[in-house]
Amino acid sequence: MKIAIFIEKNPVTGKLRDVTAELSAKASSLVEPFGGEVVGMFAGDELPVNSDDLFSSGLNRLVSFSEKRLMDSHTIAIKNIIEKMILSEDPDIVLFGATSLGREIAPLISSSLKAGLTADCTHLYIDDFKDKGKILYQVRPAFGGNILATIISPDSRPVMSTVREGVMKVPESMNKNEIKSEDFEMILQDNWFINDFLKILPKEKKVHFNRSDIIVAGGAGVGTRENFKLLSDLADMLGAELGGSRAAVDSGYIDKSRQIGQTGAVVRPKLYIAFGISGSIQHRAGMDESSKIIAVNSDPKAPIFHISHFGIVEDMKTIIPVMMRYLKEDLNG
Amino acid sequence: MKKIIVMVKQVPDTANVTGDSMKEDGTVNRAALPAIFNPEDLNALEMALEIKGLTGAEVTIITMGPPKAVDILKHSLYMGADKVYLISDRKFAGSDTLATSYVLSEAIRYLGKFDLYLAGRQAIDGDTAQVGPQVAEKLGLNIVSYVRNLVEIKNENIVVEKDSDVLTEVISAWVPLLMTITSDANEPRYPNSINMLKYFRSELESNISDKDKIRYKKNGWAIPVLTFDDLGLDPDKCGLNGSPTKVHKIKSIVLKGGDLTLFENNEGGVMGLVKEIVKDYSGKN
């Protein structure tokens, strides 16, 4: 069995994106019982500075194509190079990170190869399927995360998937494989570089939810920006990080960089305190592994209570001032 | 910029699952969710209408779906779209993204050449973000995904901000071009009351009785339906036959429950809650 993985560089740091090692480790564990190899495919201006690290997370061989023009993310050029690598390697399975680039390149390639592509997989495994022998089973949340769908592409070669960052774990210690790198040869065409990149703007700094033991989060039920300030005060008092549901972001209460949920950050703090969050499945997908969940919501039927350990049915506006008074006493005493 | 086409989709409103759409067993009652205009497709439509305002371009809308998807086509007319088409056939049922992109790209070919092809970044029922790029590939178009801002438009050239997870790129691109639009791009306008008066009678062509046909067409109230036969499609590329991915199994997410301790909503209750918070308070961070 051969699995090819898309190697992606973070253009800001010049290093591998985290998801690449995760793909490599996952691919290695999928291939292991059957024998075979994990091949990395890279197209860019130059290899990530730490690309050799991949050989310590399951990669067997790296195929790369580097050219200066690929400094910018010329979608069509990268698609054509990776597609040609896939055709030449003929892998059973191709995995991409579900990053912006991966989610753009993978569908372009799947369309031209007429290959089955499953987006945002959270779990992959190999098992028998009828007379097809061993095939890839791809599990992904769908329907806004309300269902988990297992998708197969039994007649497709290759089978393609994008995999969410942070979902697959890299084992602490893996055998270090021998470093095998080779350059891929191909001639680029000028009409693959039709877009001009006028300016590159850095993204706003990411919020590091994972460094915080406590997260205080608000949703649409918070109601106003002023009320959200109350949450922020409470978070300050607890030394907690402030977060919000998508509804809170859409209402302009909080910046998108602080969004928690399926399309935002996935967090696992020791304590998660949710105010005015109904608990849509998208939101829960980002926080339901928190060790302890406390919910305050005026709607007793809010789904958030199904996954909470402690709660109060009440408007957060009423609760927070009382809460802060008791907290002050408790923290000082 | 003369002609713009926007691909839109009607979706169940998966983003607003409230207590009312929860079943006893903790799963979501999907049938209870209302059908809505996919949110980011509204952003794509809004961008098309903004460009129409700047350049006088004609805006065409297509959607693939069942007859009730006529609702979002009427909504598009109310917002200011010029032409709308429903792509509908039982043979399309069960299409995955690849088969869907085949049908859509053939429908677009049937309607002619456009300068700009727009779609929302992704639909909230599948969240795949695949159909836009797949249509671009099938039509051999240049592509810019995740557009969050239209900076400038000059004749055949368009400057946009592309929002990726690590960078924002300001890109100058030439038409013909397909772009997928994110929710940050704009604030979709409300339906216009004059357009509502003009189009509220609009009806799928197939539902209009013969005696009304001429009058409906004359007034622009007849919404054309394009079928498998109209488009001359390959049966091996649509529906289940044309879909390499198959749904093997579906599991509804069940909310775990039973271990919730609900405090009274009085001072004593809040005190109990605070005690739970303090247990985890480390004083650091």
In chain B, the number of structural domains is 1
Q: Residue B275: which pLDDT band, with cuts at 50, 70 and 90?
A: confident
Chain B CB contacts of A214 below 8 Å: 277, 280-281, 285
The reply to whether residue A280 touches residue B16, judged by beta carbons under 8 angstroms, is yes
- On the question of pLDDT at B282 being above 60, the answer is no
State mean pLDDT over B228-248.
96
Chain B CB contacts of A291 below 8 Å: 280
- On the question of pLDDT at B285 being above 50, the answer is no
* Continuous segment of H or E residues that includes residue B142: strand B142-154
Question: Does residue B267 lie within any of the structural domains?
Answer: no
Question: Does residue B251 lie within any of the structural domains?
Answer: no
- SS in 3 state form for A14-55? CCECHHHHHHHHHHHHHHHHHCCEEEEEEEECCCCCCHHHHH
Q: What is the DSSP letter of B184?
A: T
pLDDT on residue A72: 87
The pLDDT tens digits for A267-303 are: 888 899 999 999 988 888 889 888 899 999 999 999 9
Gap between the Cα atoms of A228 and A249, Å rounded: 11
- On the question of pLDDT at B137 being above 50, the answer is yes
Q: Which residues contact A325 (CB under 8 A, 6 or more apart)?
A: none
Question: What is the SS3 assignment for B6?
Answer: strand
- On the question of pLDDT at B234 being above 70, the answer is yes
Q: What is the ipTM of this complex?
A: 0.89
Question: Does residue B174 lie within any of the structural domains?
Answer: yes
pLDDT on residue A203: 74
- On the question of pLDDT at B78 being above 90, the answer is yes
Q: Residue A141: which pLDDT band, with cuts at 50, 70 and 90?
A: confident
Q: Which amino acid is at B88?
A: S
The reply to whether residue B14 touches residue A152, judged by beta carbons under 8 angstroms, is no
Two structure tokens written together for A333: 């005493």
State mean pLDDT over A36-55.
96
Q: Which range has the worst mean pLDDT, A173-187, A192-206, B19-33?
A: B19-33
The pLDDT tens digits for B114-129 are: 999 999 999 988 889 9
Q: Which residues contact B153 (CB under 8 A, 6 or more apart)?
A: B1, B51, B54, B55, B159
- On the question of pLDDT at B257 being above 60, the answer is no
SS3 content of chain A, % helix, strand, coil (to 5): 35, 30, 35
Question: What is the SS3 assignment for B236?
Answer: helix
| Cβ neighbours, 10 Å, residue B215 | 12
Q: Residue B284: which pLDDT band, with cuts at 50, 70 and 90?
A: very low
pLDDT on residue B175: 96
The reply to whether residue B285 touches residue A108, judged by beta carbons under 8 angstroms, is no
Q: CA A268 from chain center: how many Å?
A: 14
> Is the CB of residue A125 less than 8 Å from the CB of residue A56?
no
Average pLDDT value for chain B:
91
- On the question of pLDDT at A126 being above 80, the answer is yes
* Residue A294: closest CA among A317, A312, A315, A279: A312
Kindly give the residue spans of alpha helices, DSSP state H, lying in B68-192. 70-79, 97-111, 131-139
Gap between the Cα atoms of B124 and B188, Å rounded: 17
Gap between the Cα atoms of A116 and B50, Å rounded: 36
Question: Does residue B270 lie within any of the structural domains?
Answer: no
Q: CA A227 from chain center: how many Å?
A: 31
> Is the CB of residue A316 less than 8 Å from the CB of residue A218?
yes
In terms of CA atoms, which chain A residue is nearest residue B130? Answer: A107
Question: Does residue B8 lie within any of the structural domains?
Answer: yes
Alpha-carbon gap: B277 to the closest alpha carbon of chain A (Å): 8
pLDDT on residue B256: 59
- Give the structural domain span for B176: 3-237
pLDDT on residue B13: 85
The reply to whether residue A144 touches residue B127, judged by beta carbons under 8 angstroms, is yes
What's the predicted TM-score (pTM) here?
0.83
pLDDT on residue B250: 87
The reply to whether residue B14 touches residue A307, judged by beta carbons under 8 angstroms, is no
Size of interface A-B (CB pairs under 8 A): 288
> Is the CB of residue A149 less than 8 Å from the CB of residue A140?
yes
Q: What is the DSSP letter of A171?
A: P
Question: What is the SS3 assignment for B157?
Answer: strand
Report the CATH number at residue B17.
3.40.50.620
Q: Residue A166: which pLDDT band, with cuts at 50, 70 and 90?
A: confident
Average pLDDT value for chain A:
92
Question: Does residue B258 lie within any of the structural domains?
Answer: no
Question: Does residue B111 lie within any of the structural domains?
Answer: yes
> Is the CB of residue A277 less than 8 Å from the CB of residue A217?
yes
- Phi, psi dihedral angles at B15 (to 5 degrees): -80, -20
The pLDDT tens digits for B20-46 are: 666 666 566 767 788 999 999 999 999
Chain B CB contacts of A193 below 8 Å: none
Q: How far apart are the first and last CA of chain B?
A: 54
Alpha-carbon gap: A144 to the closest alpha carbon of chain B (Å): 5
> Is the CB of residue A54 less than 8 Å from the CB of residue A174?
no
Question: Does residue B263 lie within any of the structural domains?
Answer: no
- On the question of pLDDT at A176 being above 70, the answer is yes
Domains of chain A: 2-192 (3.40.50.620), 209-332 (3.40.50.1220)
Gap between the Cα atoms of A90 and A95, Å rounded: 13
Gap between the Cα atoms of B79 and B150, Å rounded: 19
Chain B CB contacts of A153 below 8 Å: 244-246
Q: Is beta strand B225-226 parallel, antiparallel or unpaired with respect to B3-8?
A: unpaired
Q: In what order do the strands lie in the sheet with B142-154?
A: A196-202, B167-174, B157-163, B142-154, B177-181, B116-120, B3-8, B58-64, B83-87, B225-226
The reply to whether residue A151 touches residue B246, judged by beta carbons under 8 angstroms, is yes
